[in-house]
Chain A
């Protein structure tokens, strides 16, 4: 199994451009998450989806939108990228929303210039 797959791995955007980060998992997990990680810092939750058809804001949702396309896929969209959104973005999934570990993708390194 591939686990959690994120695309692209690297991206450079100009300020004001839009883009969508893709995430797919093949573990039949119910819950999926998007985090951002800034240098020397921990992971901050942007949005999560406890189950197909539901999404909820995390700690830092401003400037982002998400779509839980189906059980496998959870995308993160930046409508108008800003330099403050330069970060490494991680997608994760969990078998269920309660009391199980989350599995992470390898990350997308995004630079906004």
Chain B
């Protein structure tokens, strides 16, 4: 069946360093991907998205890379700050499944001052 998974469940980085969070997906028909940030006790918040016709998209301090050949997605956070500490999830969507949005397990990012 389809699934979205993450390589690393936890990631610890030094403040100011760059962070890279990875995600593998198994459904080659997925055409839209989203990264969410979830802080403790809160609902997920949208960070950035990318469509399958793109391989890179940049936001403010964040970049998402999509490699469809190996079905891999990554989120890069530049100059990581303590406020970036949270759990990060990737999610995938398949047009042909009418909007079913499936999430991966998540990676906890811890930023050390």
A residues apposed to B, CB below 8 Å: 4, 31, 33, 35, 41-45, 48, 50, 56, 58-59, 90, 92, 94, 96-99, 101-107
Contact = CB atoms under 8 A, between A and B. Distances in A.
Contact of B45 (A35, A56, A59, A104): A104
Interface in B28-55: 31-32, 34, 42-46, 49, 51
Contact of B43 (A58, A99, A104): A104
B99 A50 contact: yes
Nearest to B32: A99
B31 to A, nearest CB: 7
A58 B95 contact: no
B43 A107 contact: yes
Contacts of A99: 31-32, 51, 93, 95
B106 to A, nearest CB: 5
B31 A44 contact: no
B21 to A, nearest CB: 13
A36 to B, nearest CB: 11
Contacts of B104: 42
